[in-house]
Amino acid sequence: MGGVTITELIDKMGLRNMTPELETDNVMLVHADVNRPALQLTGFFDHFDKDRVQIIGYVENAYISTLTPQRRREMFDKLLSSGIPCLVYSRGMAPEEEVLELCNHYGVPCMVSEKTTSDLMAEIIRWLNVKMAPMISIHGVLVDVFGEGVLIMGESGIGKSEAALELIKRGHRLVSDDVVEIRRVSDETLIGSAPDITRHFIELRGIGIIDVKTLFGVESVKDTQSIDMVIKLEEWDKDKEYDRLGMEDQYTEFLGNKIVCHSIPIRPGRNLAIIVESAAVNYRTKKMGYNAAKELYKRVQANLARRD
C-alpha cells in the first residue's frame, strides 16, 4: 500500500486549508479509512486509530458546543497531541480559534469541506482505497470496448498495440499501452491505469510513438478502467487444442482476483479488432444471463431428443 499526502487530499476533495502555515506535502496518510472522533472528544481513547483522517461532523460539533471552554481545550489538546494526520470539518463549519491554535502548535493540518459528513466520508474512503490499493505493473494494453475493460496480453511484437489502434479507430478508448498499472480496490474489482509518463501514447513498430489523444481526440482515451476480461494473443500452434465452444470460462488471476481470460491464436488474415469487440459483447451477454454456447448445446440436445 502506498501513501497519500495531505496536499493531494486537499486538492482532490476541494478542501479549504485553515492552517496554511503548516507544511502539508510531508504529512502522509497511510490508512484508507476515516474516523469521527466522537468518543475521543468525551475522553475515551481506548482502541483509537490515530492514523486515520479525523472528521468533525454536525453531531461532533454540536457536542463540542456544550463543553466549557476549559474542557473543550483539554479534549482537543489530547486529540491533536495524539499524532493524528489531519482534522477536517464538514458542512462548512469553521473551527474555533483555539482549535486552530492547537492545530498549529501540534502541526496538525485543519481543513473545512462544504460537503455533508456522509458524502465527505464516502468520497474520501473511495478515493483513498483506490490510491492505496495493492498495485502491480504488467506488460499489456488496456482498452475500453463497449464499456468493458479488455486487457490484451501477449509476447512483445505480436500485435497488441496494432489491435488497440484499430479499436480506437472503431470508436473505443485507450487506457494504457505497453505498461498497465493494476490496482485491487476490492475483492471483485481491479482498476487499470497508465503510468504518468506513457499516458495516451502508443508505440507502433516501424512508425514510432504516436499521441492518441492528439490524433484522435479526447474521446479516444480514458484515464482509468475496471478490468473485466483478459485476451491473451499467442502464435498459432497447429498441434495445440483450442477451445471452440466456450462452454466453460477460463480465468487468470491478478492480486488474488480472478478475471475471465481468452487465449486467441494469431494467424495472418485474422481481424483482431473484430475478435476483441465480439469477445467484449459476448461477455456482456453472459453477464446479462445469455450464453450462446449453452444455447447451442440445448438446441443440439433437443434435436437429438426429437430424432430418438
Q: Tell me if 159 is assigned to a ligand binding site.
A: yes
Q: Rounded to an integer, what distance in angstroms lies between the CA atom of residue 21 and that of residue 16?
A: 13
- Which of the following is catalytic: 178, 199, 213, 284? 178
| 67 and 93 Cβ atoms separated by less than 8 Å | no
CA nearest to 2, candidates 126, 129, 88: 129
* Conformational region of residue 206, where left means phi above 0, alpha means psi within -120 to 50, and beta covers everything else: left
C-alpha of 112 from chain center: 26
User: Does 226 count as an annotated binding residue?
Assistant: no
173 is catalytic: no
The whole-angstrom separation of Cα 17 and Cα 24 is: 10
**Residue 13, exposed/middle/buried by CB under 10 A (0-12, 13-18, 19+)?**
middle
Catalytic residue among 52, 72, 115, 160: 160
Can you tell me the distance from the alpha carbon of 93 to that of 18, in angstroms, rounded to the nearest whole number?
A: 11
Catalytic residue among 47, 237, 239, 244: 244
178 is catalytic: yes
CA angle, 277 as apex, 274 and 279 as ends, to 5°?
Answer: 110
Active-site entry in 71, 105, 126, 139: 139
Distance, CA of 10 to CA of 135 (rounded, Å): 23
Secondary structure of residue 239 in the 3-state scheme:
coil
- Annotated catalytic, 160? yes
Quick check: 272 and 164 in contact, CB under 8 A? no
What CA–CA distance (Å, rounded) separates 154 from 142? 12
Known catalytic residue at 307? no
Amino acid at site 61: N
SS3 267: coil
Q: Are 120 and 88 in contact (CB under 8 A)?
A: yes
Residue 302 CA to residue 245 CA, distance in Å, equals 18
Q: Per the annotation, does 154 bind a ligand?
A: yes
Does residue 156 have a known ligand-binding role?
A: yes
Annotated binding-site ranges for Mg(2+): 161, 203
Annotated binding-site ranges: 154-161, 203
Q: Indicate which residues carry an active-site annotation.
A: 139, 160, 178, 244
Annotated binding-site ranges for ATP: 154-161
